[in-house]
Amino acid sequence: MKSCILAPLGACALSVSIAFTAAAAPAKTTAPAARAAVRAPSGEASIEALEHRFAAAFRARDLSGVMSVYSPDVFVFDLVPPRQYVGAAAYRKDWVALFAQSKGPIKFDVQDLKVVVSGDMAYSHSIQPTVWTSIKGQPVAATVRVTDVYRKVGGAWKIVQEHVSVPVDLATGKPDMTSAP
């Protein structure tokens, strides 16, 4: 990893991605293990299901459902201050505030979800467009980029780290809240 310090950022990210993807390559299995893999959902499918449960809970303003996908020791860089949230209790307050600042239906989707699993660890990235109405009646739209890290504990996947961001125009310092590719 020391070579990444002096390498261009893209090369570093590529080498980390290649290493993680290579580690996630399936190993040869015996026939009973292969049959068990068919019965049990893959890590990718389980994480996709977790993201769908999260999306449904967000749209329903179900705070418990939203928080159910996070590990108690989750670490989050969210879009809004403070700089970081450490632990589910701290992050829960962020969600309480978000729901209190909006009214009516929430439109939300998880798009372009890509998941990589290696053993009991995984990561994903996705685009998440959201539209709601502020308590003042103003429409609010944001399309965020989300990167999650998951750990499988006791047979269940939980988000242990989350990073939410939007692109920023460096010339103006203004965020692009509805970014498009």
Listed in order, strand segments (DSSP E) in the chain are 70-77, 85-86, 102-108, 111-118, 121-134, 139-153, 156-165, 168-169, 174-175
Residue 31: predicted pLDDT: 54
pLDDT digits (tens, 9 = 90+) for 81-129: 999 999 999 999 999 999 999 999 999 999 999 999 999 999 999 999 9
pLDDT digits (tens, 9 = 90+) for 57-84: 999 999 999 999 999 999 999 999 999 9
Q: Which of 131, 114, 127, 133 is nearest to 167 (CA)?
A: 127
Residue 172: predicted pLDDT: 95
Beta bridge mates, 47: none
Residue 22: predicted pLDDT: 39
Average pLDDT over residues 129-142: 96
Count CA within 13 A, CB hemisphere, residue 75: 3
Residue 40 reports pLDDT greater than 90? no
Residue 29 reports pLDDT greater than 80? no
pLDDT digits (tens, 9 = 90+) for 153-175: 999 999 999 999 999 999 999 99
User: What is the rounded distance in angstroms from the CA atom of residue 118 to the CA atom of residue 71?
Assistant: 18
pLDDT bin (cut points 50, 70, 90) of residue 179 is confident
Domain ranges of the chain: 31-175
The correct CATH number of 31-175 out of 3.10.450.50, 1.20.140.10, 3.40.50.2000, 3.20.20.140 is 3.10.450.50
User: What is the rounded distance in angstroms from the CA atom of residue 72 to the CA atom of residue 52?
Assistant: 20
Average pLDDT over residues 173-180: 91
Q: Which of 139, 135, 151, 150 is nearest to 177 (CA)?
A: 139
pLDDT bin (cut points 50, 70, 90) of residue 16 is very low
Q: How many CB atoms within 10 Å of residue 134? A: 12
User: What is the rounded distance in angstroms from the CA atom of residue 43 to the CA atom of residue 26?
Assistant: 12
CA angle 114, 17, 14 (to 5 degrees): 120
Average pLDDT over residues 23-51: 66
Pairing of strands 70-77, 156-165: parallel
DSSP sequence for 47-83: HHHHHHHHHHHHHTT-HHHHHTTEEEEEEEE-SSSSS
